[in-house]
Structure 1
Amino acid sequence: MTAVDGNALLERLSGKLDGIRGRLTPNAPMDQITWFRTGGPAELLFQPADEDDLSAFLKVLPEDVPVTVVGVGSNLLVRDGGIPGVVVRLSARGFGQAEVVSENRIRAGAAIPDKRLAAAALEAGIGGFHFYHGIPGSIGGALRMNAGANGVETRARVIEVHAVDRQGNRVTLSNDEMGYSYRHSSAPKDLVFTAAVFEGFPEDSATIRAEMDAVQHHRETVQPIKEKTGGSTFKNPEGTSAWKEVDRAGCRGLTIGGAQMSPMHCNFMINTGTATSHDLETLGETVRARVLENSGVRLEWEIKRIGLFRPGQEVQEFLGRMI
């Protein structure tokens, strides 16, 4: 028995969904979406046909029904009890286009993979987007968490962001209104980002390609990209690197259940094949505790953790138990 009941929620909404064109899936298996390949179901997964459809759906969705937005699931840990309410996942057909709108500007839908935006910029001869070639996520997630790599962050490229709020209203935010800081945006949490306008600079294609190749080589050399992982587990603390603190605390290769801190890059957590989300989160909190004890550094999660714990499998922040 799951902790959520999507059929009951769908029945509750049945009289409100006339004209909604997107796909609604009750009890949608999130372990087929997340890169960790773990987690319980979404109570109700909604994949809107386009921005109009998303707006119409949110206008009729009762206020007490929670809404969670997910992308490609690369930097996401869904807990084993599932996600209550509606999970919105933007479709590639409705939100997956990239369009060059001026000499140095590209409008990109929030469902576009970061690598595709980098490729579109390469084709247009627009520099400054090579870093996206190494980020395994979608543009919506990059906008929300100010994703970055190789010394460049999303905030350096964003001009404006388009979104729909919880009431179904369309909203446009400037770069300043996004409130960017390291791996963070202070934009309202209820916004569903739908697209953004980015600006780069003129650069020849050979230079852009070389920069993208360097990014790819770095990833293949130092990161466990062929494993079931969620990317960087912890944010880099000020003045140091997360992986260095994890290593110094003796946590490289540390294993709990089917979850392991990668021996290749110890700020990457991997599912070795049998991990549950409980294993992964327990491992992460154990590492945080060991690092705090070893160096006094308080690591903060970069991976987004959402959903409900299974009863009796709650994971407490900063486990005191050493494994």
Structure 2
Amino acid sequence: MMRGQALIDKLGGRLDGLRGRITPNAEMDKITWFRAGGLADALFQPADEDDLAAFLRAVPEEIPLTIVGIGSNLLVRDGGITGFVIRLSAKGFGEAEVIAPTTIKAGAATPDKRLAAVAYQAGIGGFEFYHGIPGAVGGALRMNAGANGVETRERVVEVRALDRKGDLHTLSNADMGYAYRHSAAPAGLIFTSAVFEGVLADKAAIKAAMDAVQHHRETVQPIREKTGGSTFKNPEGTSAWKEIDRAGCRGLMIGGAQMSPMHCNFMINTGTATGYDLEYLGETVRTRVLERSGIRLHWEIRRIGNFRPGHEVQEFLGQLL
């Protein structure tokens, strides 16, 4: 019997009554933008917040849970993922609505671009930067996503989340502990929705700002490739792409993985890349940048799952720790 079905069978009737979808041996390469990576033992897509809470209460704490969003900033290793992967459904968690003149409530599976569009239609400014972020609200909350000089922390009022036991929590902006591309909120919390605050603005001005964001992305980023967006966080006082370029890594290839010739802080799957190719390329770049400039680049892309035996990748290739 395959590993995923064995996990589901082990839980027996504990999963009865759930309304969401459970998929054993889920192909993670189908839901990540890199289109690479191994199988998850099982994938659960809850119908709504109550269904997710019921699932969390039903699954024993010793069974690992991994939360993923729309897979835009995610690298799954080839050995797959142990336990359940939880992916919030668009139907249950993908809506955004205006609840006050400058206030929007959005589910964690709402695409960032959709949040920007809802704000535009309501004449609410301050959300234009989301138009250029290829992710969803949950990921933006977790990593304080930002672009064009604006960050998520500037818009967040409060966040709803469930813990591992299925209990509901409401976190204030301060509770989220935001820093550059980082939130200090406990890693085990699953964000389900958030309330955002903007400012009243002229719709023509909002549209112009959104168009500028889109034009910038189309002209400097490889948005039509299989990519995970920005690979590394910007170091203090410089840009990741500048250091990658200076280290001679623009266009560098390992297997089917390449640092984009167009924007060398974007890693792309040229068609045949494995999770190993992508992570090995990333660590090769980190090593070369460290050797050249003494700067330790930090991953912005989230890497999850198990290495395939014999294909482990060490930080900085194990050479410069």
Is TM-score (shorter-chain normalized) higher than 0.5?
A: yes
- In structure 1, distance between residues paired with 2:77 and 2:234: 24
- Pick from 294, 297, 308 the counterpart of residue 296 of structure 1: 294
Does the Cα contact within 8 Å between 1:230 and 1:270 map onto a contact in 2?
yes
Identity of aligned residues (%): 75
* Distance apart, 1:319 and its partner CA: 1.6
SS in 1 for 2:261: coil
- Pick from 278, 300, 313 the counterpart of residue 276 of structure 2: 278
Question: What residue in structure 1 maps to residue 190 of structure 2?
Answer: 192
Question: What residue in structure 1 maps to residue 178 of structure 2?
Answer: 180
- Pick from 255, 258, 273 the counterpart of residue 256 of structure 2: 258
- In structure 1, distance between residues paired with 2:209 and 2:218: 15
Using the TM superposition, name which of 291-300 and 6-15 deviates more: 6-15
- In structure 1, distance between residues paired with 2:28 and 2:8: 18
Question: What residue in structure 2 maps to residue 99 of structure 1?
Answer: 97
Question: What residue in structure 1 maps to residue 34 of structure 2?
Answer: 36
Question: What residue in structure 2 maps to residue 69 of structure 1?
Answer: 67
The runs of 4+ residues in structure 1 deviating greater than 6 Å are none
Does the Cα contact within 8 Å between 1:286 and 1:320 map onto a contact in 2?
no
Question: What residue in structure 1 maps to residue 305 of structure 2?
Answer: 307
Q: Taking structure 1 as the reference length, what is the TM-score of the superposition? A: 0.98
| AA in 2 matched with 1:71 | G
SS in 2 for 1:172: strand
SS in 2 for 1:20: coil
Question: What residue in structure 2 maps to residue 86 of structure 1?
Answer: 84
SS in 1 for 2:272: coil
- Pick from 126, 129, 132 the counterpart of residue 130 of structure 2: 132
- In structure 2, distance between residues paired with 1:182 and 1:20: 37
| AA in 1 matched with 2:201 | E
- Pick from 202, 213, 217 the counterpart of residue 219 of structure 1: 217
Does the Cα contact within 8 Å between 1:159 and 1:197 map onto a contact in 2?
yes
Alignment map for 1:233-252 (pairs within 5 Å): 233-252=231-250
- In structure 1, distance between residues paired with 2:317 and 2:292: 14
Task: Deviation per CA, 1:200-223: give whole Å up to 9, x if none.
Answer: 000011000000000000000000
- Quote the RMSD (CA, aligned, Å): 1.2
SS in 2 for 1:69: strand
* Distance apart, 1:71 and its partner CA: 0.8
Question: What residue in structure 1 maps to residue 314 of structure 2?
Answer: 316
SS in 2 for 1:31: helix
Q: How many residues align?
A: 320
Using the TM superposition, name which of 8-17 and 296-305 deviates more: 8-17
Q: Which sections of structure 1, spanning at least 5 residues, go unmatched?
A: none
* Distance apart, 1:321 and its partner CA: 7.1
* Distance apart, 1:14 and its partner CA: 1.9
* Distance apart, 1:99 and its partner CA: 1.1
- In structure 2, distance between residues paired with 1:102 and 1:274: 48
- In structure 1, distance between residues paired with 2:253 and 2:27: 26
- Pick from 130, 144, 163 the counterpart of residue 165 of structure 1: 163
| AA in 1 matched with 2:77 | R
Task: Deviation per CA, 1:98-151: give whole Å up to 9, x if none.
Answer: 111111100000000000000000000000000000000000000000000000
Q: Taking structure 2 as the reference length, what is the TM-score of the superposition? A: 0.98
SS in 1 for 2:153: helix
Alignment map for 1:104-115 (pairs within 5 Å): 104-115=102-113
